[in-house]
Amino acid sequence: MSGTTEAHGLTNPEGGFPPPAEFTAQANVGEEAYERAAADRVGFWEDAARRLDWTQEWDQALDWSNPPFAKWFAGGKLNVAVNCVDRHVDAGHGEQVAYHWVGEPGDTRTITYAQLKDEVCRAANALTELGVQSGDRVAIYLPMIPEAVVSMLACARIGAVHMVVFGGFSPDALASRITDAGAKVVITADGGYRRGAPSALKPNVDEALTKTEGVRSVLVVKRTEQEVEWTEGRDLWWHDVVGGQSTEHQADSFDAEHPLYIMYTSGTTAKPKGILHTSGGYLTQVSYTHWATFDIKPDTDVFWTAADVGWVTGHSYIVYGPLANRTTSVMYEGTPDTPHQGRWWEIVQEYGVTVLYTAPTTIRTFMKWGEDVPAGFDLSSLRLLGSVGEPINPEAWLWYHKIIGGGRCPVMDTWWQTETGAHMVTPLPGVTTLKPGSAQRPFPGIAASVVDEEGKPIEAGATGYLVLTEPWPAMLRTIWGDDDRYKDTYWSRYGAGVYFAGDGAKLDEDGDIWLLGRVDDVMNVSGHRISTTEVESALVSHPTVAEAAVVGATDPTTGQGIVAFVILRGDAEDSGEELVKTLRQHVRKEIGPIASPRQIMVVAELPKTRSGKIMRRLLRDIAENRELGDVSTLTDSSVMDLISSKLPGAKED
């Protein structure tokens, strides 16, 4: 860790940080929400659902007759895009800014709700003209430009299911997702700007489409003006096809359980899971949590989720939550240090950002760059801060609170997942006395518990597994095309009604929850979920590698770093640095740059249990330079000596 609490002169007061008086007085949601939800959980969510416009009221708020397959607000009808855009325009807010968009090179676009409505209608007409119908899947592979939001909403408007793939994924990863989802249309761009340079996307789509069938049309947004290869009859420019459409579009309503989107996320096997979210319950919970956790005041707040729309955080808190609440948001295309390390703070100052939501890994990076950087900007507009993606260590929390928030902004540490769709465990700004490092309390209407191996609730002070014991509106409905995997992965460990989140947690004396990280073979690198098995299978697909084991080792900046141990094939030569470079490149090609190992060590053996399972715990000890833990279950404990003896040859960047 670069900065200790002491080094920054930060203190963690005994008893925590009480809610500031102005929040207690004016917060959207107070203590009574917990009471109301405890008395009538489903009724509480029905009230939240009534914040939206429905063209038909639901018959049944929750149908849990066939767990773990939930239905929320069944029989109710709504249009998600109309709720996010049209209803605000119809209510006279068309001139309000929906997005202050900032391109990395410094170009900007201001998009009002009225303009957003026109663009979404045009894109909806264009998709319809391309033959996209309700229920069809559309892949979106775009940089952080407004067309990403427009594309998502256009799909929602016509009932098509979007499947956004983060621009940092490789052609292979894109292809396998397109195949699994059965997408017909891909929306992409020539490229986007990252780290001061145009970064091409279209070539990745071209390559992906050599590996999957079924895509008829590729819509291409012109962003960087890079040269692109063109497949006649398949590729179409966005400005030609969308630009010429009418801004009139009659939106149908869809059932509350109509699929809204698929988002792939890493599981414990090599095959990513297509998490399916539906319409009414999802929009209810993302909009309500956004309004409650961040205390959003639509007339005055300028909200910024500094994440990519390619992840669930972007879906829920750049697009659906903020728009449903008629929020003015900032959207930034690029990296935080381009062209200088104060870029974010310049944006906060320029747009008067009031609420900022980001990941601990970024906060730790800012700590490393030093407090002089933010000190050069006026951050006095900020009134609330949020954190998501991984446990936030108290040092980073305190630094964020003091250096960015000037000591006046409550910090909301929000625990949730792609699968949960929306905040699940978080403080509330007008209610909670904050404890740095703890996500604290289940959100009103959420039933979370920490249990032991047998599923029994643990005592205060103990550690166990986080589970969710009642269904919630924004929960995933299944894994796309694989109901069995859905049941096995989440609902089998403790019985059909209990959701296993895959996170370890501790309960303190007050009953507050402290998240401890994943307990399965999933790593969390810079807030991105990557499966150890996925990286292992990428490594063994290289001709030089016979076997691979991957662990997530603690990393002061990224939370975890990927460390790989590989055994070479008999005829392969260990060419040192050269080999490590080749393997790293191979993983980038197979999965994407986010999965590139921080360290690759060539070893002669891997530690295995008698049943043949790789003992990742021991490898983690090595990767973190710790004394080795218990080796008694190893088939051959001399293996560890063998590995350690190979370590002088360990390769690092």
From the number of C-beta atoms within 10 Å of its C-beta (0-12, 13-18, 19+), residue 588 rates as middle
595 phi and psi angles, rounded to 5 deg: -100, 5
Cα Rg of the chain (Å, integer): 24
Three-state DSSP at 321 gives helix
DSSP-derived secondary structure for 254-320? EETTSEEEEEEE--SSSSPEEEEEESHHHHHHHHHHHHHHTT--TTT-EEEE-S-TTSHHHIIIIII
413 lines the binding site for ligand PRX (CB under 6 A)? yes
With contacts defined by CB under 6 A, name the span among 231-239, 408-416, 572-580, 586-594 that binds ligand PRX. 408-416
CB of 110 to ligand PRX, least distance (A): 28
Continuous segment of H or E residues that includes residue 643: helix 638-646
Can you give 118-176 as a three-state secondary structure string?
A: HHHHHHHHHHHHCCCCCCCEEEEECCCCHHHHHHHHHHHHHCCEEEECCCCCCHHHHHH
312 lines the binding site for ligand PRX (CB under 6 A)? yes
142 lines the binding site for ligand PRX (CB under 6 A)? no
Q: Report how far residue 371's alpha carbon sits from residue 391's, in angstroms, rounded to the nearest whole number.
A: 22
Which residue type sits at 559? G
Spell out, one character per residue from 264 to 283, where the chain touches ligand PRX: x when CB under 6 A holds, - when not: -x------------------
Total of chain residues touching ligand PRX, rule CB under 6 A = 22
Selected binder of ligand PRX within 390, 536, 555, 621 (CB under 6 A): 390
Selected binder of ligand PRX within 417, 432, 440, 532 (CB under 6 A): 417
518 lines the binding site for ligand PRX (CB under 6 A)? yes
Spell out, one character per residue from 222 to 261, where the chain touches ligand PRX: x when CB under 6 A holds, - when not: ----------------------------------------
Q: For residues 422 and 601, which CB has a smaller minimum distance to ligand PRX in the complex?
A: 422
With contacts defined by CB under 6 A, name the span among 127-135, 378-386, 394-402, 512-520 that binds ligand PRX. 512-520
Selected binder of ligand PRX within 503, 512, 534, 536 (CB under 6 A): 503
Which residue type sits at 17? F
Q: For residues 125 and 531, which CB has a smaller minimum distance to ligand PRX in the complex?
A: 531
41 lines the binding site for ligand PRX (CB under 6 A)? no
389 lines the binding site for ligand PRX (CB under 6 A)? yes
Cα dihedral 367→368→373→375 (10° resolution)? 30
Three-state DSSP at 554 gives strand
CB of 513 to ligand PRX, least distance (A): 9
Q: For residues 331 and 422, which CB has a smaller minimum distance to ligand PRX in the complex?
A: 422
Three-state DSSP at 647 gives helix
CA-based nearest residue to 648, from 615, 618, 610, 622? 622
480 lines the binding site for ligand PRX (CB under 6 A)? no
Selected binder of ligand PRX within 529, 542, 584, 586 (CB under 6 A): 529
Q: Report how far residue 301's alpha carbon sits from residue 231's, in angstroms, rounded to the nearest whole number.
A: 45
502 lines the binding site for ligand PRX (CB under 6 A)? yes
Beta bridge partners of 262: 163, 276
CB of 311 to ligand PRX, least distance (A): 6
Q: For residues 49 and 312, which CB has a smaller minimum distance to ligand PRX in the complex?
A: 312
Three-state DSSP at 409 gives coil
Contact call for residues 238 and 290 (beta carbons, < 8 A): no
Selected binder of ligand PRX within 414, 449, 533, 558 (CB under 6 A): 414
Q: For residues 373 and 505, which CB has a smaller minimum distance to ligand PRX in the complex?
A: 505
Q: For residues 306 and 373, which CB has a smaller minimum distance to ligand PRX in the complex?
A: 306
With contacts defined by CB under 6 A, name the span among 152-160, 215-223, 499-507, 625-633 that binds ligand PRX. 499-507
Reply yes or no: is the peptide bond before residue 171 cis, omega within 30 of 0. Answer: no
CB of 386 to ligand PRX, least distance (A): 9
315 lines the binding site for ligand PRX (CB under 6 A)? no
Find all residues with CB under 8 Å of 110, minimum gap 6, and list them: 97, 99, 100, 101
Identify residues 567-586 at the interface with ligand PRX (CB under 6 A): none
With contacts defined by CB under 6 A, name the span among 87-95, 387-395, 429-437, 583-591 that binds ligand PRX. 387-395
Question: C-alpha distances in angstroms, 342 versus 105, 307, 353, 558?
Answer: 14, 17, 15, 20
* CA terminus-to-terminus distance, the chain: 19
391 lines the binding site for ligand PRX (CB under 6 A)? yes
Residues that bind ligand PRX (CB under 6 A): 265, 312-313, 388-391, 413-418, 439, 501-503, 515, 517-518, 524, 529
